[in-house]
Structure 1
Amino acid sequence: MKSVNDILKSNVLKTKTNINNPKPVIDYPNSTDKVACSICDDRGIVLEGDIAYPCSCMQSRKIENQFRHARISRELMNCRLEKFRFDFYSDNMTDIHRDGAIRALKAAKSFVNDCLRTPYGLGLLFTGPVGSGKTYLAASIANELMDSHLKVLFLVVPDLLDELRATYKSDLNELDLLDTARSVPILILDDLGAHNYTDWTRNRLYSIINYRLNEQLPTVITSNLSLDEMEDYIGIRTTSRIIQSSRIFRLTVEKDIRLQIYQERER
């Protein structure tokens, strides 16, 4: 019987070692194909004699798959609560912007700790104008929970509505999409705003919120709408259930944080 080493050697490309680079460099005879990892040739394992062990690239693949499953964008992957900047909330006259940011950050940290203790509980609703840090807080919560290996789904509401509309007259399975959003342990709905809601999409959004309320599954929502505006756009019954299932915090700024970051970058 062939050993593991013999079996794998028969399928592995020859390698050569670069003296200045301890990592193996793949030799590709008669081929222009490349691999992502030159250590294991994308097989995920490294051989030392007859012993095989996981390649270091597997951890980065695991992290990448985790973010892909959560559907969080690459831009938001590095958001963390400890990086939250209060200097964006400075106010020459009062501390009202900073005070709101302090309360929102404290609530975000408390929410993460609560999720680590129990899968059930209240969610969060962050409201405020565009560029006030709502998405940053929501993404930070998602990343910190995923760091602790909890299952999180991060959905941008306009994208969710587009996907739901796409299932209306197609072979896509609407129930799969709704079931995932309804039953995932932690759901984040980003940018619940003044979109083009129809009765059909309002009913689907209600289905998600109502199910999670009944099952006490926590949801984090960001919105630039006031509660009155929310009732106008998504309906009274959905808004009522969001209020019932959430702790509500408002973020305000004198100047859009994205603009502040741009000005910093251009100095």
Structure 2
Amino acid sequence: MKYPKKLAKRADEILAARRWDAERRQAHTLALLHEQHPEVEAARRSLASLYAKRGTAAIFEPDTLEGIDAQISAGREQLQALMAAAGITEADLEPSYTCPACMDRGMANGQTCTCRQTILNQLVYEQLCDVSPARECSFDNFSLAYYDREQRTVMGRVVESCLRYVREFNRESKNLLFTGPPGLGKTHLSLAVAEGVVRSGRLVMYVSAPHLMDELERGKFQKDAAALEYREMIFGCDLLVIDDLGTEMVTSYTRSEVYDLVNTRLNTSRPTIINTNLDLRDIEKKYTSRVYSRIAGTYAVVEFKGRDIRLQKREKG
């Protein structure tokens, strides 16, 4: 799955800035070298001239190569001695790139460098935070204390399953349906999963159902370029989290889009997590038996029970 254009562009801008900064610092170092140790700079230039002379001789005067190689060897020894006396190393003369493997270009051996992937992962996470309370929703601060004794045991197992889901995430991972009344931690837990999957280098999209339907409609009927790219990401991302399914205005169009999205992602083995206050029967009534059949038959249903956690916090607060 390719990353959104704006994120890829931003990653390349960050890499270009790193490269420019490394080369600027190198230029500054070389300027100081020329000023403070002219003998070292003169030896470097002399050696560079000898290498250029050797290149020409290899073509036009091959019989002179032995003599030039001897000069190069002597020149290197002289340069090393001068650098040692000045306390300068070879590394001081080269750009100090953040990533030596790709020299901050983002590509190494024809492949995307891990440094660019790391930048993209961070940008995806920041985008996730822009559209959700992801920074506030982690496994570490998901408290079981708000569930009664029986449900606490069940939710403890759910949390462990979600942690395992993150550790083992791949194209064959299950689709999840988090269902239950508001305020029981569905969004919190799904975002904790989303964060973990992002950190492993996958493209994760989080969207509320009302916003999702608005954007899909804009892309389909207005042919808006940004909305079309958004549609491509929603259908093709590694993990999609849909929050509050059922709170959007349900029409024949939205029913069709929900089915198309659920069905396409199932057929292309791209896992989805759906949070909803609806149970399976409500889903069938709202979205037709086709949607119900796909979700009931292929999603792992996780039922959240208990008393609204937000209300509990307010009462204690």
Scaled by the length of structure 1, the TM-score of the pair is 0.70
Cα distance in 2 between the residues matched to 1:188 and 1:77:
16
1:165 alignment partner in structure 2: 217
* 223, 241, 259: which one aligns with 1:206: 259
Matched ranges for 1:1-267 at <5 A: 4-5=23-24, 51-54=95-98, 65-70=123-128, 73=131, 75-90=133-148, 95-115=149-169, 118-167=170-219, 169-173=221-225, 175-254=228-307, 256-264=308-316, 266=317
Greater helix share, structure number: 2
Alpha-carbon RMSD across the aligned residues, in angstroms, is: 3.0
Distance 1:152 1:72, change over 3 A: farther
Tell me how far apart the structure 2 counterparts of residues 78 and 49 of structure 1 sit (CA, whole Å): 45
142-151 or 106-115, larger mean C-alpha shift? 106-115
The secondary structure found in structure 2 opposite 1:235 is helix
Whether the 8 Å CA contact 2:162–2:193 is kept in 1: the answer is: yes
Q: CA deviation at 1:260?
A: 2.5
Cα deviation 1:14-54 (Å, max 9, x = unaligned): xxxxxxxxxxxxxxxxxxxxxxxxxxxxxxxxxx8864444
Distance in 2 separating the partners of 1:49 and 1:209? 56
SS of equivalent residue, structure 2 residue 260: helix
With over 3 angstroms needed to count, the CA separation of the structure-2 counterparts of 1:74 and 1:249, relative to structure 1, is: closer
Greater gyration radius: 2
Report the CA distance between 1:79 and its aligned residue: 2.0
Distance 2:129 2:288 in 1: 27
How far apart are 1:75 and its partner, in Å? 2.2
Question: In 2, Cα distance between the equivalents of 1:149 and 1:63?
Answer: 6
Partners of 2:203 and 2:145 in 1: CA distance: 32
Secondary structure at the aligned position of 1:216 is classed as: coil
Paired letter, 2:297: Q
Change (3 A) 1:6 1:53: closer
Describe the shift of the 1:62–1:194 C-alpha distance in structure 2 as closer, same or farther (beyond 3 A): closer
Tell me, yes or no, if the aligned pair for 1:122 and 1:246 is still in contact at 8 Å.
yes
Deviation sequence 1:212-243 (CA, Å, 0-9, x none):
11122211111100111111112211121112
> Counterparts of 1:121 and 1:242 in 2: how far apart (Å)?
15
What displacement does 1:97 show?
Answer: 2.6
CA deviations on 1:39-77 (whole Å, 9 max, x unpaired) are xxxxxxxxx88644449xx99976652224446635222
* TM-aligned CA distance change 1:218 to 1:253, over 3 Å: same
One-letter amino acid of the counterpart of residue 105, structure 1: V
Query: For residue 73 of structure 1, what is the amino acid of its counterpart?
Result: V
Q: How many residue pairs align between the two structures?
A: 216
CA 1:228–1:85: 2 relative to 1, 3 Å: same
Residues 231 and 154 of structure 1, relative CA distance in 2, 3 Å threshold? same
In the alignment, the residues of structure 1 paired with residue 231 and residue 298 of structure 2 have an alpha-carbon distance, to the nearest angstrom, of 19
Write 1 or 2 for the structure with the bigger share of strand.
1
Q: CA shift at 1:250, angstroms?
A: 0.6
> Where do 5+ consecutive residues of structure 2 fail to align?
1-21, 29-91, 100-115
Q: Please give the alpha-carbon distance, in whole angstroms, between the structure 1 residues aligned to 2:278 and 2:302.
A: 12
In structure 2, the CA distance between the partners of 1:128 and 1:152, relative to structure 1 (3 Å rule), is same
For residues 166 and 8 of structure 1, do their structure 2 counterparts lie closer, same or farther at Cα, with a shift above 3 Å needed?
A: farther
Contact in 2 for aligned 1:71/1:155 (Cα 8 Å): no
